[in-house]
Every structure is written in C-alpha cells, then in structure tokens.
Amino acid sequence: MALEITDANFDELVLKSDKPVLVDFWAAWCGPCRMVGPIVDEIHAEYDGKAIVGKVDVDANQEFAAKYGVRNIPTVLIFKNGEVVDKQVGVAPKNVYTGKIDAAI
C-alpha cells in the first residue's frame, strides 16, 4: 500500500524528501480515483527505495490540495527537491505515471 500522506506529514514526506515523490490526490467517493489507486499501490512496491509514493485523501486533508491547485481528482503530482516537476490529471495507464517518476529520478 502507498503511504498515507496528510497535511500533518506532507512537509516531511514530500517537500523534504531526497527522492522523487509521487502524490495521488484522491477521495473515497471518486470512481476514477478507485481505478488509479491500485496502480499507485503497484508503483509504490516497484519503486521502493527509489521514490516515495503516497496518497492524499482530499476530503480529510485539504491544505496541500488547495496549495497546489488540485481542483479535479484524481490528480497525481510528481515532486523533486520540494517542487512540482510534473502532473497528471485524470486516469492514465501505469506507464504514464512510471515514466514521470523515471524522468525525475
């Protein structure tokens, strides 16, 4: 399972990470989010040690969703050195997400 990222630990897990970070902004009621969730979990397992992969429940954690202008979910942001370097809005095939992480590694 991907890491649970919250407003409380976002700074530590995402912004201060020395590895690229994939953050999936999602909500339990969002059908497309439930399609992306298992893909994100697979990527978490495959990139263990190379990248941080986590999910932010936007219903429970709105601070960083608002800060990064997440208006549609699912939205996946790729961070490197605390900055957003790529994003994907909506459902995409797994290779789209892994390609974005690979580009940041």
Active site residue 33: yes
Single-letter residue type at 14: V
Element (H, E) at 63: helix 63-67
Which of these is catalytic: 5, 14, 22, 33? Answer: 33
**Catalytic residue status for 87:** no
* Nearest CA among 98, 91, 86, 4 for reference residue 50: 98
Catalytic residue among 3, 27, 30, 89: 30
Whole-angstrom distance, CA of residue 90 vs CA of residue 95: 14
Q: Which residues are the active-site residues? A: 30, 33
